[in-house]
Amino acid sequence: MKSVAIVATRAITSLGNLDETWSGLMEGRSALACLKSDGLFGRWPVGSIESLEGEQGTSKRLYALIKLLLSDSPPVPDDSTLVLAITKGAPDELLAGSTRPRPDQPFDIANYIARELDLKGSASTISAACASGTIAIIQGIHRIISGDAQTVAVIGIDILSRFVLAGFASLMALSPQPCRPFDHSRDGLTLGEGAGIMLLCATEEAHKRNWPILALINGWGAACDALHITAPDRKASGLIASIKKATDNCRRQVGAINAHGTGTRHNDAMEIYAFTTLWGKNNPPFHSVKGAIGHCLGAAGVIEAILSVESLKKGLIPPSIGLITPESGVGHVTGQKPLILTHPSILSCNSGFGGINASILINDLRCF
């Protein structure tokens, strides 16, 4: 496979900007808490960005998050292509009704962001459930390798909403306490909101424009097991297939894994099964950030890939906040302390409803 360069990143989570998020993770802090409001948000903990204006699930909040992200965005060349990962837009306005001709939904947002960035390239939207962010990165890679684009801005964004919270509650998938990824006593996920931007280009283009190369993506894969609309395949067939594609059938060395790690019984068991099936007892160290910032849905894959770049810089993966007692027989998972990368490469993977799975292998320049 060819390599694609990551030349700039930014992120916003319930812990703050990228630097604040990284610091919070390394210090073992969690931003998950119940909101002081009636109804669902007073019952279930969430990862909320306190500085955002607007009610959860509204276009006002969505545009506030976009504005916050773009205010700190790296310079994006006007000839760039935009690939947006988002799952739901502003769904609560659909429930409450709106005087506007149409509430802001996923298919509206990419064009809006492209106008805000004054981009002349194409703008497209990926809505592939919880794997949206990683799929969007893979789409960006394909645009560059095919020659369709010189530079691609990949953005992931999603806000909290009553609609999605109620949906996960109806599936009995939410935890009444902050989620505990990979913990033996885990009992559900916690939702969050956030956004991230990653600027990609060919390595030759980065050299041409004198851009610093933060990391390289030289492996990627996506697969769908299509077993169930909400439940993962217990034998992890889709995730295993995506990891094999990203790692050249595990011939490429993986120094650590930034796992999906939602904290639900079935997702985490599926991931553990995949990692131990592929690598046995010597599986790479793995972790999840969702015990600190929640599950950011369409933004998750982009944010987690950005945090993987930070891990490569520091040579460490953060603790899996919320994890106290790992499942028996599973080694090399972070608990309350960071773990050292065994090699300067990180596999970032996500799984979503409908059996969608995606993985990318991010490498430090020392690998080449």
Q: Does residue 86 contact residue 156 with C-beta atoms inside 8 Å?
A: yes
Q: Does residue 70 contact residue 284 with C-beta atoms inside 8 Å?
A: no
Axis-axis angle for helices 18-26, 300-314 (nearest 10): 70
Domains of the chain: 4-208 (3.40.47.10), 218-367 (3.40.47.10)
Residues labelled catalytic: 130, 260, 295
Hey, is 68 helix, strand or coil? helix
For the range 58-64, what are the long-range contacts, defined as Cβ-Cβ under 8 Å and sequence gap of 24 or more?
A: 58/90, 58/92, 58/93, 59/89, 59/90, 59/93, 59/100, 59/103, 59/104, 61/90, 61/159, 61/160, 62/89, 62/90, 62/104, 62/109, 62/157, 62/159, 63/104
Q: What is the pLDDT of residues 78-113, one digit of tens each?
A: 999 999 999 999 988 876 555 554 557 788 899 999
The closest alpha carbon to 111, from 92, 137, 86, belongs to 86
C-alpha distances (whole Å) from 138 to each of 211, 218, 220, 247, 346 are 21, 11, 7, 14, 15
Angle at 365 between CA 212 and CA 299, to 5 degrees: 70
Whole-angstrom distance, CA of residue 5 vs CA of residue 141: 9
Whole-angstrom distance, CA of residue 48 vs CA of residue 65: 11
Whole-angstrom distance, CA of residue 180 vs CA of residue 43: 17
The closest alpha carbon to 365, from 301, 303, 312, 295, belongs to 312
Tokens of 198: 């990653």
Residue 101: the pLDDT is: 45
Residue 330: the pLDDT is: 72
Distance of CA 264 to the CA centre of its chain: 17
Q: Which residues pair with 12 in a beta bridge?
A: 17, 195
Whole-angstrom distance, CA of residue 6 vs CA of residue 124: 19
Q: Which residues pair with 8 in a beta bridge?
A: 199
Whole-angstrom distance, CA of residue 142 vs CA of residue 148: 8
Euclidean distance between the first and the last CA atom of the chain, given in angstroms as a whole number: 13
Distance of CA 244 to the CA centre of its chain: 20
Hey, is 309 helix, strand or coil? helix
Say which DSSP state 72 is in. T
Q: Which residues pair with 201 in a beta bridge?
A: 5, 151
Hey, is 78 helix, strand or coil? coil
Give the residue ranges of the chain where pLDDT is below 50.
101
* Number of CB atoms found within 10 A of residue 112's CB: 15
**N residues, the chain:** 368
Whole-angstrom distance, CA of residue 293 vs CA of residue 78: 32
- Exposed (0-12), middle (13-18) or buried (19+): which is 273, by Cβ within 10 Å? middle
